[in-house]
Amino acid sequence: MPFVYIDDLTVGMILGEDLFTSKNRLVLAEGIALTAEHLEMLKSWGIVELDITEESLGEEYLRQQEAVAQFTEQAESYLFRRFILNEIDQEPMATVYSHTVHRSAQNLLHGWEPTVFLGELDVDLEERIPPLSVPKLLTGDVELVSLPGVYHRIIEVMDHPDSSAQMLAQVISKDAFMSLRLLTLVNSPIYGFSGKIDSVTRAASLLGTNELTTLAIGVSVVSKFKNIPSELVDMDAYWRHSIRCGLYAKILAQHLGLLGEESYFTGGLLHDIGRLILLDRASLQYKRAVAKARKDHSPMFRAEQEVLQTDHSIVGKLLAMRWRLPTPLVRMIGGHHSPSANDYAIEASLMHVADVLAHACGHEVNLVNEIPPLQMKAWKATGLKEDVIATAIRQVDVEFRDVVQIFFSE
């Protein structure tokens, strides 16, 4: 009996086999005709595909599948190269890969053109260049590495022994740009509050001071770093990747029931911030690292370590510490490529997984063509199971557009 992908299921299709939960509880019996409620329920459970009787597939479905199948090979040959550093016949990347192939084939059918692969850079890797000084990256140009005044006033309030949501709201309300961005975010599907939240005071009481502060940090940093000019990086793609990573991190954190899930969104937003510092302040050296990564088909952070003796996660971590960001955020930024060096702390491991998912499920090809390899120990440390992937991919798709709008509307 054919397996039908969750997004292609339609009302009236008949289940060809009993459906059990992971705890072996029967949820839907063989022979049942699917209703709209069933479809919603199946999606929320993260079911990827179902066994459906041949007779109930319907002509429309068969026509659709035939059309998509014609693009599967093209999708695979494109994605095979993107996934080359990952084990696509081993979970969880097997699930990620099969989803991505199916979605890409569907997109191709609707006229999507895969991103063109980047070629090698014309850089002489033997030529001597000035060595990189990490301390120098983060000092001197105060303008780049300092944040807007409102951010410092927020930190002052938070440091105050009697700090309250009320005081925080007062500080934020004085900054019109910050207030507007925060309120739009709080009213977006990321939070899913019912009813409109129309004041910062109300937002502070609903979210709590820590969450609101973390979000304010995210807004400050994005507004500061949004338009850094770079010949190497497409900034639009950079921020799209960061937003996607933030959404994956937040959704996975919610799934695990972790405390402070909002900080995971901000963590994703900022996880690669060290890269912007390197691009801006050491572009010559960074170009050499990019050239090496493209030549060797190695992950960017490895090439950075070889060429620069440091990498963007370390630079990001130092910057985060300089900004006095909360410790969990420092761990997310500093540990997303080296969860082992962070004893597989949940912040580092989860951000690592979110980063790989964001690379795999977004089509932004930036700096290098290959999706960085998933470190299995980090995946295991999160305690996640592959059945969350389908739901996460779908949920990020829904939220992504709205959130991009919020950060990038002028």
Is the Cβ of residue 182 or residue 314 nearer to Fe ion in the bound state? Answer: 314
Half-sphere exposure of 345 (CA within 13 A, CB side): 16
Q: Report residue 387 CA to chain centroid gap.
A: 18
Q: Which stretch binds Fe ion (CB under 5 A): 55-63, 248-256, 349-357, 387-395?
A: 349-357
Alpha carbons 34 and 27: distance in angstroms, whole number: 12
Is the Cβ of residue 211 or residue 355 nearer to Fe ion in the bound state? Answer: 355
- CA dist 260 to 168, 183, 221, 389, 406, Å? 18, 19, 19, 21, 21
Is 261 among the residues that bind Fe ion (CB under 5 A)?
no
Is the Cβ of residue 301 or residue 323 nearer to Fe ion in the bound state? Answer: 301
Tell the smallest beta-carbon distance from residue 63 to Fe ion (Å): 39
Is 175 among the residues that bind Fe ion (CB under 5 A)?
no
Q: At what angle do helices 200-207 and 176-186 cross, to 10 degrees?
A: 50
Residues forming beta bridges with residue 366, ordered by sequence position: 368
Is the Cβ of residue 46 or residue 274 nearer to Fe ion in the bound state? Answer: 274
Is the Cβ of residue 214 or residue 242 nearer to Fe ion in the bound state? Answer: 242
Size of interface with Fe ion, in residues (CB under 5 A): 2
Tell the smallest beta-carbon distance from residue 272 to Fe ion (Å): 4
Tell the smallest beta-carbon distance from residue 356 to Fe ion (Å): 9
Is 355 among the residues that bind Fe ion (CB under 5 A)?
yes
Binding mask 181-210 for Fe ion (x = CB under 5 A): ------------------------------
For 93, the token pair is 């990347």
Q: Which stretch binds Fe ion (CB under 5 A): 226-234, 348-356, 363-371, 380-388?
A: 348-356
Tell the smallest beta-carbon distance from residue 271 to Fe ion (Å): 6
Tell the smallest beta-carbon distance from residue 57 to Fe ion (Å): 40
Evaluate whether 37 touches 68 at the Cβ level (below 8 Å): no
Tell the smallest beta-carbon distance from residue 7 to Fe ion (Å): 26
Is the Cβ of residue 38 or residue 240 nearer to Fe ion in the bound state? Answer: 240
Burial state string for 116-125 with b = 16 or more CB within 10 A and e = fewer than 16: eeeeeeebee
Alpha carbons 111 and 67: distance in angstroms, whole number: 12
Tell the smallest beta-carbon distance from residue 288 to Fe ion (Å): 18
Sole binder of Fe ion in the list 261, 272, 370, 399 (CB under 5 A): 272
Is the Cβ of residue 353 or residue 384 nearer to Fe ion in the bound state? Answer: 353
Q: Which stretch binds Fe ion (CB under 5 A): 64-72, 97-105, 174-182, 347-355?
A: 347-355
Q: Which stretch binds Fe ion (CB under 5 A): 185-193, 204-212, 248-256, 270-278?
A: 270-278
The SS3 of residue 49 is strand
Tell the smallest beta-carbon distance from residue 297 to Fe ion (Å): 17
Tell the smallest beta-carbon distance from residue 134 to Fe ion (Å): 16
Is the Cβ of residue 272 or residue 399 nearer to Fe ion in the bound state? Answer: 272
Evaluate whether 31 touches 14 at the Cβ level (below 8 Å): yes
Segment (H or E) for 28: strand 26-28
Evaluate whether 216 touches 199 at the Cβ level (below 8 Å): no
Alpha carbons 332 and 260: distance in angstroms, whole number: 13
Q: Report residue 298 CA to chain centroid gap.
A: 21
What is the distance in angstroms between the CA of the first residue and the CA of the last residue of the chain? 52
Residues that bind Fe ion (CB under 5 A): 272, 355
